[in-house]
Amino acid sequence: LAKTTQPISMDSYEGQEVNITCSHNNIATNDYITWYQQFPSQGPRFIIQGYKTKVTNEVASLFIPADRKSSTLSLPRVSLSDTAVYYCLVGDGSGNTGKLIFGQGTTLQVKP
Amino acid sequence: GAVVSQHPSWVICKSGTSVKIECRSLDFQATTMFWYRQFPKQSLMLMATSNEGSKATYEQGVEKDKFLINHASLTLSTLTVTSAHPEDSSFYICSARREVEETQYFGPGTRLLVL
């Protein structure tokens, strides 16, 4: 399974756009890129998933360059409630076992 | 859609007893479910892959006789911690794989405290 690398922590202020970049140099051809958000004492919550180029939903955008060796999660205009740990994972594609191996994640602290 | 529940949300038990945790996919069927464990300030650690109708696949270092997994239906997987000890105290989280999206959805977690 491909390993991911993210910054351990990031700080931001309310109303700012936050971009979290994840490196996954060994991503396989059939791997998807998925981001989750986790609050303390809760299970991870699905944010967004993509394979290539750009994906956007109601909460975030995911930018994936052509070589797919990295990806960037973009959170527009964050609020205090976006303070959480964000995990980038690769895998779960067709033909895979479906296993996801969690890295350390990025702890985002949003300040007023 | 894509809701996964766990029961109980928290449990306290005495050392030596067994505890069963249920994981249900409420609005989709899941051939594959996963069990994770998370210690304070740490990331999720995959324990095992639960396959409907077949034996679970355990990650290296996870004792299959201690953590019994049963995936009897397409919406239910159970994790039984047998002869629990204080070091088994942790946050246990399950996920269910929604095949059509090839995406895992996670339950809210179960806090286990072994006294």
Please tell me which of the candidates B32, B91, B103 has its beta carbon nearest to residue A49.
B103
Q: What is the mean pLDDT of residues A61-73?
A: 97
Q: Is B114 exposed, middle or buried (0-12, 13-18, 19+ CB in 10 A)?
A: buried
Q: What is the DSSP letter of A2?
A: -
CB proximity B50 to A under 8 Å: no
Strands B4-7 and A53-56: unpaired
pLDDT at residue A96 tops 80 = no
- Interface contact B44-A44, CB threshold 8 A: yes
Mutation site, A35, A92, A106, interface B, largest B CB count within 10 A: A92
Question: Among all chains, which residue has been given the structure tokens 């794989």?
Answer: B97
Distance of CA B68 to the CA centre of its chain: 10
- Interface contact A43-B95, CB threshold 8 A: yes
pLDDT at residue A40 tops 90 = yes
CB pairs under 8 A between A and B: 63
CB proximity B2 to A under 8 Å: yes
CB contacts, 8 Å: A105 with chain B: 43
3-state secondary structure A47-101: EEEECCEEEECCCCEEEECCCCCEEEEEECCCCHHHCEEEEEEEECCCCCCCCCC
Please tell me which of the candidates B49, B57, B106 has its beta carbon nearest to residue A44.
B106
For chain B, which residues score pLDDT lower than 70? 1
Confidence at A80, pLDDT banded by 50, 70, 90: very high
Say if residues A108 and A85 touch (Cβ distance below 8 Å): yes
- Interface contact B44-A45, CB threshold 8 A: no
Spatial CB neighbours of B6, under 8 Å, sequence gap ≥ 6: A43, B21, B22, B23, B24, B92, B93, B94, B107, B108, B109, B110
**Nearest C-alpha neighbor of A29 from the set A49, A48, A51:** A51
Please tell me which of the candidates B57, B91, B104 has its beta carbon nearest to residue A41.
B91
Spatial CB neighbours of B89, under 8 Å, sequence gap ≥ 6: B112, B113, B114
Q: What's the rounded Cα separation, in Å, for the pair A4 and A101?
A: 9
Q: What are phi and psi of A88, to 5 degrees?
A: -105, 130
Q: What is the percent of chain B with per-residue pLDDT over 70, rounded to a whole number? A: 99
Please tell me which of the candidates A43, A98, A101 has its beta carbon nearest to residue B97.
A98
Q: What is the percent of chain A with per-residue pLDDT over 90, rounded to a whole number? A: 79
pLDDT at residue A93 tops 60 = no
The minimum CA-CA distance between B82 and chain A, rounded to whole Å, is 23
Average pLDDT over chain A reads: 92
Please tell me which of the candidates A46, A92, A105 has its beta carbon nearest to residue B102.
A92
Q: What's the rounded Cα separation, in Å, for the pair B111 and B21?
A: 10
User: From B111, which residue of chain A is nearest by alpha-carbon distance?
Assistant: A41
